[in-house]
Amino acid sequence: MKAPFDVSRDRERMLLDLLKKATDFYEDTIGVLSSIFELSEHIGSCSPEEDFYAYVVQVLIRESRCENASIFIVKEGKVILKSAAGTYRPSEPTEVSMDIGEGVAGRCALEGKPILISNTGDCSYFKDIPNTKVRIGSMLCVPIKEGDITFGVLNLSHSRINFFDMHSLRVFELLGLLVGQMLTLVHLSSIFQRRNSDLNDLLRQKDESLRTISESYKAVVDSSEDVIFILSGSDSVTFCNQRLFSLLGNVPSKMQDIFDSDAMSRFREHLSEVHPGQSRDFEMNVSIGRTTGVIGQFFIKRLGTEQTLVVMRDVTAKRRMEQRAMQTEKLTSLGLLTSGIAHELNNRLTPILGFADLINAKKLGEKDQKRLSVIINAANSAKHIVESLLKFSRNKPPEKIVFDMRDVIKRTVSLYAPTVKKRGIKFICEDYPEPLFVRADMNCMEQVLVNFINNAIDAIDDQPGSICLTAYMKDRHVHVSIQDSGPGIPEEIMTKIFDPFFTTKPKDKGTGLGLSICYGIISDHKGEISLENTGQGALARIKIPAMSADGHGEPTEAKEEASPGIKVQEPGKRSVIMVVEDEEDLLDLMVDTLSPFYEVMPFSNGQNAFDHLDERQWELIISDLRMPVMDGMELYRTVVQKHPWLKKRFMFITGDTYDYQIKEFLETTGATFLRKPFRIKDLREIVYKQLECA
């Protein structure tokens, strides 16, 4: 039986031991609670996941009584050391890992339960960490879990044996659960931050791409020759491209800043018929800024209930070109028809005039002389009508020479000076300092200028006004423009002004052939002609190819060898002439006209004439160009191939000089020709000259 003193000492010792355990438990609990608070604060700072591992072990060392703390994460069948703190000091940083089930940490991860080792020396599965000199007497491993899933191990150790007890196990097991939940939050936060960072990067890239695309689209829209703008509602302009700005000289805010009232009204009619999502194409004549007479090809599309995209392409030049092409086609067709008619009329008029000239009027009575005079005058009038038709159809080959266009302009201006002065019209002629050489028919050029000046005078009428004539050189072409201050040309007839027989003048002032003839003349000279409104009147433009000053010289043919078959005529001997014509009346006329002076042999076609070529020594061959069997051109080539010296002995009769083949033939060969209908005097004179030259 113990003495009372001993019993008292045992109780005191027991109480002190309980007090120490209570104090240790209190300190551990306070440390864990403090750790939880610090870890919660750290999570709130949104630090990276790797920083969280390091922070956990640092807090555990600071707030608990253990010497070493580390965290292992389960990954791909292993537990991998993520962070450690305390007296653990590896000699060099190495990756520490072990298989699940290996070592204390591996077994804790495998079982998912806390493991308390009071003495590591008695633990068969304890495994030292390589390269560490830390002595571990006891350790506590608690799983880091989220629900039933273990994804890490919280490892605590101390150098003293029996440092950890069941109270430590319960406290740190709770900490392991909380750390697991915190790690889940940190992991999700890291994922969110990475995704957020990726999204921000993607957003920046998209913004940059969108900015680049927007700038590219704006550059494309601004570089477009089309007018592009966006309407908000039916009147406000919210966007316009550089083309529209350059036409207006400013940024429009309303649609009336772009179009006049008439164009706006017609535009709104089209706009009212287009519903959201729909589009429409149409053409309309408009004036934009100071540019008038624009033919606009419109495309409008409703972008929604409020906005409308408007694109307008200026197709004025294209439509003018199409009109010119149509005009050329119409004139060509009409010219061919006119040429055929003129050819037939010439064949009928020639014998009428010819035989009328052969009649001896002195032997006729007074009444018959008057009747003959009526016949000749009527035939001459018909001849002039045919010549007008030939001018329109360009049947007459132009006699093109090189000359200074300024001379024709000066002559035409001086011709009209008294007229315009009398009518109070100011005539301005701007002089060009350098010569304006062209290869053209002077009479044709004068006819074109006269026609345009006449039209300008008629347009001004009795009102005060002015006519400005300008000539200059540009792009190897001579340009001539005639501008008047008249009312201009109505838009509705602009496409018809070059049509044959179209005129707005009274019957006693015009036939409608003037501009058509001008068009044909300039086209024949490989030039261009146009008419347009300027807002202050009409402007006619003429453009023909320029020539250099040395273009006056024409190529000369080589001299022919002397004819081997022609002998010097004896006194009183008559020249032998071959006449080839398929029209019987014309053939009789030429035989009757020339027979008194020459020996004339008639033939009805080229083949018949060629078959008799070697029968006589022909001093002149007069041939029609258009004949059946063998025409005049084929006869010429066949004869010259056989007898080259006969090349200068040919003379042609034709009423069909419109055909380009005939024009080219006459220009290439340089052969003499007489145009139908001709007078007897003209035929005799040209035959005499040909024989004299031969």
Residues 340 and 417 in one domain: no
Give me the CATH number covering residue 119.
3.30.450.40
Residues 444 and 504 in one domain: yes
Residues 609 and 534 in one domain: no
CB 155 within 8 A of CB 70: yes
Residues 192-246 pLDDT 10s: 777 888 888 888 888 888 888 777 777 888 888 889 999 887 788 888 888 888 8
Query: Is residue 199 one of the residues assigned to a domain?
Result: no
pLDDT at 169 over 60: yes
* Interaxial angle between packed helices 316-358 and 514-524, expressed in degrees from 0 to 180 and rounded to the nearest 10: 100
pLDDT at 339 over 70: no
Cα separations in angstroms, 107 against 102, 148, 251, 493: 6, 16, 80, 104
pLDDT at 680 over 60: yes
DSSP state at residue 496? G
Give me the CATH number covering residue 540.
3.30.565.10
Residue type, 489: I
Half-sphere exposure of 122 (CA within 13 A, CB side): 8
Residues 377 and 411 in one domain: no
DSSP-derived pairing of the beta strands 97-99 and 115-117: unpaired
Query: Is residue 9 one of the residues assigned to a domain?
Result: no
Assess whether the previous peptide bond of 677 is cis (omega < 30° from 0): yes
**CB-based contacts of 296: which residues, under 8 Å, 6+ apart?**
227, 283, 284, 285, 286, 312, 313, 314, 315
Model-wide pTM > 0.85: no
Query: Final residue of a domain: which of 393, 411, 437?
Result: 393
Query: Is residue 600 one of the residues assigned to a domain?
Result: yes
What is the model's pLDDT at position 623? Answer: 93
pLDDT at 554 over 70: no
Give me the domain span that covers residue 590.
576-693
Residues 84 and 230 in one domain: no
Residues 537 and 414 in one domain: yes
Give me the CATH number covering residue 331.
1.10.287
Residues 178 and 33 in one domain: yes
Residues 44 and 145 in one domain: yes
Query: Final residue of a domain: which of 347, 371, 393?
Result: 393
Give me the CATH number covering residue 237.
3.30.450.20
Residues 428 and 362 in one domain: no
Query: Is residue 242 one of the residues assigned to a domain?
Result: yes
Residues 481 and 377 in one domain: no
Residues 583 and 499 in one domain: no
Number of domains within the chain: 5
Query: Is residue 580 one of the residues assigned to a domain?
Result: yes
Structure tokens at 52: 């969280």
Residues 556-583 pLDDT 10s: 333 333 333 333 344 457 889 999 998 8
Provide the edge-to-edge strand list for the sheet that holds 236-240. Answer: 236-240, 227-232, 307-314, 291-302, 279-288
pLDDT band at 123 (very low <50, low <70, confident <90, very high): confident
Query: Is residue 111 one of the residues assigned to a domain?
Result: yes
| Distance between CA atoms of residues 186 and 568, nearest Å | 130
Bridge partners, residue 303, by sequence? none
Residues 595 and 642 in one domain: yes
pLDDT band at 545 (very low <50, low <70, confident <90, very high): very high
What is the model's pLDDT at position 34? Answer: 60
Query: Is residue 6 one of the residues assigned to a domain?
Result: no
pLDDT at 146 over 90: no
Residue by residue, DSSP assigns 47-105 as --HHHHHHHHHHHHHHHSS-SEEEEEEEETTEEEEEEEEES---SS----EEETTSHHH
H runs (alpha helix) in 525-631: 584-594, 606-611
Query: Is residue 354 one of the residues assigned to a domain?
Result: yes
